[in-house]
Amino acid sequence: MELYELNLWMLIEGLKAGKFTPSEIFTSCKKRIDQCEENIHAFITRTDDNPQPGSNPDGIFSGIPTVLKDNLCTTGIRTTAASKILGNWKPPYDATAWKYLKDAGAVLMGKVNMDEFAMGNTCGNSAFGPTHNPNDISRVPGGSSGGSAAAVSAGYVPFSLGSDTGGSIRQPASFCGVYGLKPTYGMVSRYGLISYGSSLDQIGPFARTIRDLQLVMSVIARHDPMDSSCFREKNPDFTHHEDVSLKGKRVALVKEFQDFTLDAPISKAMNRTCSVLEAEGAVLTEVSLPVVARYAVACYYALAMSEAHTNLERYDGVRLGYTVKDAAGVKEMFEAVRSYGFGSEVKSRIIAGTCLTEPSRCDEYYVAATKVRTLIAQEFARAFGEADFILQPVTPSLPGKIGEVDEDEMKGYETDLYTLPVNLAGLPGLSFFTGYSGELPVGLQLIGPRWSDPALLDAGTVLERQLGSPRIANGGVK
């Protein structure tokens, strides 16, 4: 067995026991990257030729390689958000989540691909070209954190960080066959995460076991004074419990979702997971989320685009990134920079956001959406009075072929129905592995009330025990 195949907790224990050295891990992972990267194209910027050593040799992640979604700021290392507009920008500061990892000794192998400014669910809207699914390189890895999911799935690194605004961790985790956690809004500091929809964005980890997710969360889920939305009285406990049980826990399905069609592998996975839960002593139940089912998608896009278009106003070529030197005037410079720098998906969301908040329409769309959002949060709060967790798909289908999904944009938006409401209500959502359908992994989603992230991961431990852990994808290597 190669070292790159080991999970995070195994690497930590092996290092502690002196079974191997950090440089052996590094070499093994680098070799694996060299082997597959041509097929997968997960990286935007590789730093493994000039590895950035973690700052703490005694840290819990000392010598552990990782990659970051390229919307997380890294001091002195190009950070692009997969956009041309950021040019060759090298941030003068670290995202807090990365700083915490670095302080724990993690080693950065590079910055990985995503949909531009996290807008998309295929990892195909990138100025640096698409990333391929390591399980089947003709298919998309999902998005927007496709690079982060693919890197863990292919065995580049034992864990990675991504961000989730409407499903951008959970959907690629499910497509690539890894675990992905979208934490409660405010659980992980957003400082240094290039914003898409600020009230929806949340940083979270990818890994190949639940226990690994817990290890990462124990490092990154800490209070940060730099993020006003990251506030808590005390940090949660993400200790791994092997003997955890779901006995007596109420796990609900959403009544309104039962009418929607799911592809066969997904509905099969739902049935199988329900049986496993019952066998584990959980009580299956049903909750009703009528507002979510009817309005969540519209509400989400109204809010996300409204926030996004203001978040993207700062890219004007004045202070950083791509700029135009010979424009006739400042207005012309703004136009030239933004016309060239943004991709078409980003432009359409900026236009939509501008229209949605335009003074004459603002009440009808943006303000109305903020009210619907309150109703959605209340609806979930009520549901979690009747259930401990909600089980639902991540997406209704398995990953499509690269290029295929983009054809019907509206369908792309609708497939997000299972993931977006979680962001609207600020809930934690776990994307977990259930098995394979042919070569392709099938994931599902477990949602808990706000701040229930540790309990959600405990439930994930039970599911992993019963459903099995994913294997490392072949990465297009025969």
Partner 1 sequence: MPELTFTPVIGIEIHIRLKTDTKIFCSCSTNPNDPPNTNICPVCMGLPGSLPRLNHTVVEKGMLAGMALNCTVQPRSLFFRKSYFYPDLPKGYQISQCDLPVVADGYIEVHDAEGRLKKIRVNHLHLEEDAAAMHHSASDGRLEGASTSYVDYNRAGMPLGEIVSEPDISSAQEAVEYAMNLQRRVRYAGASDADLDKGMMRFDANVSLKCSDGRWGRKVEVKNMNSFRALERAIEYEIKRQKKILLSGGEVLQETRHWNDAKGVTTASRVKEFYRKFIVEPDLPPLVVGQEWIDKVTAMMPEMPDVKANRYVKDMNIPREVAEVLTDDKNLAAYFEACVSAGANPVRAANWVRTEVLRVLNERGQKIADFTVRPEVLAGLVGRVDDGKLSTTQGKEVFDYMCANGAGLDDAVRALGITEGGIAGNALADIIASVITANPDVLEEIRSGKDKKGKKLKFLQGLVMKETKGQAKPQEVAEAVAEAVK
For residue 388, CA distances in Å to 141, 204, 239, 431 come to 30, 21, 20, 16
Nearest to 251 by CA among 285, 289, 287: 285
For residue 68, CA distances in Å to 94, 111, 254, 348, 403 come to 12, 5, 33, 26, 25
Mask 190-229, x = binds partner 1 (CB under 8 A)? xxxxxx-xxx-------------------------xxxxx
Name the H helices within 312-367: 330-341, 344-357
Near partner 1 by CB under 8 A, which window of 71-79, 127-135, 251-259, 417-425? 71-79
Contact between 359 and partner 1 per CB under 8 A? yes
Mask 235-254, x = binds partner 1 (CB under 8 A)? --------------------
365 secondary structure, DSSP code = I
End-to-end Cα, the chain, rounded Å: 17
Active-site residue, 153 included? no
Mask 81-110, x = binds partner 1 (CB under 8 A)? x----x--x-xxx-x---------------
What is the size of the binding site for partner 1 (CB under 8 A)? 48
Contact between 75 and partner 1 per CB under 8 A? no
Apex CA 141: angle with CA 220 and CA 147, to 5°? 45
From the list 244, 283, 284, 320, which residue makes contact with partner 1 (rule: CB under 8 A)?
Answer: 320
Residues whose CB is less than 8 angstroms from the CB of residue 371 and which lie 6 or more positions away in sequence, other chains included:
none
Annotated catalytic residue: which of 30, 62, 69, 160? 69
Of 316 and 453, the one with the shorter C-beta distance to partner 1 is 316
d(CA 402, CA 222): 37
Contact between 330 and partner 1 per CB under 8 A? yes
Of 195 and 445, the one with the shorter C-beta distance to partner 1 is 195
Contact between 329 and partner 1 per CB under 8 A? yes
Question: Strand order of the sheet with strand 159-164?
Answer: 43-46, 107-112, 65-69, 159-164, 202-207, 179-182, 429-437, 440-447, 389-393, 250-254, 283-287
Active-site residue, 69 included? yes
Active-site residue, 144 included? yes
> Are the CB atoms for 198 and 311 separated by under 8 Å?
yes
Of 161 and 269, the one with the shorter C-beta distance to partner 1 is 161
Residue type present at position 87? G
Please state the separation of Cα 138 from the chain's center in Å: 21
Contact between 55 and partner 1 per CB under 8 A? no
310 burial type by CB count under 10 A (0-12 exposed, 13-18 middle, 19+ buried): middle
Near partner 1 by CB under 8 A, which window of 237-245, 285-293, 312-320, 405-413? 312-320
Min dist CB 129 to partner 1, Å, is 22
Nearest to 72 by CA among 81, 63, 84: 81
From the list 35, 39, 245, 310, which residue makes contact with partner 1 (rule: CB under 8 A)?
Answer: 310
Contact between 316 and partner 1 per CB under 8 A? yes
From the list 8, 12, 15, 73, which residue makes contact with partner 1 (rule: CB under 8 A)?
Answer: 73
Question: What amino acid positions are annotated as catalytic residues?
Answer: 69, 144, 168
List interacting residues with partner 1 (CB under 8 A). 71-73, 79, 81, 86, 89, 91-93, 95, 190-195, 197-199, 225-229, 231, 306-307, 310, 312-316, 318-320, 329-331, 334, 354, 357-359, 362, 366, 370
